[in-house]
Structure 1
Amino acid sequence: MSKVSQRYLVIISKIIFFYSIFYVVMKVAAIFQGAWAIPNLILAVPYLIFAIVGGILLKRNSYHWAYVIAGAILISIVRYYEQEWMLQLHNYFQ
Structure 2
Amino acid sequence: MSNNSQRYLVLISKIIFFYSIFYVVMKIIAIFDDARVIPNLILSLPYLVFAVVGGFMVKRNSYHWAYVIAGVILISIVRYYEREWMINLHEYFS
**Displacement of 1:36:** 1.1
Where 2:48 maps in the other structure, the secondary structure is helix
Runs of 4+ in 1 over 2 A off after TM superposition: none
Where 1:34 maps in the other structure, the secondary structure is coil
The aligned residue for residue 49 of structure 1 is 49
Cα distance in 1 between the residues matched to 2:71 and 2:52: 12
TM-score between both structures, scaled by the size of structure 1: 0.99
Q: How many corresponding residue pairs? A: 94
Gaps of 5+ in 1: none
Supply the AA of the counterpart residue of 2:63: Y
CA RMSD of aligned residues (A): 0.3
The aligned residue for residue 2 of structure 2 is 2
TM-score between both structures, scaled by the size of structure 2: 0.99
Supply the AA of the counterpart residue of 1:24: V
The aligned residue for residue 26 of structure 1 is 26
**Displacement of 1:2:** 0.1
Counting only pairs closer than 5 Å after superposition, residues 74-89 of structure 1 correspond to structure 2 as: 74-89=74-89
Alpha-carbon displacement from aligned partner over 1:18-51 (angstroms, at most 9, x marks no partner):
0000000000000000111110000000000000
Cα distance in 2 between the residues matched to 1:10 and 1:18: 12
The aligned residue for residue 73 of structure 1 is 73
The aligned residue for residue 39 of structure 2 is 39
The aligned residue for residue 12 of structure 1 is 12
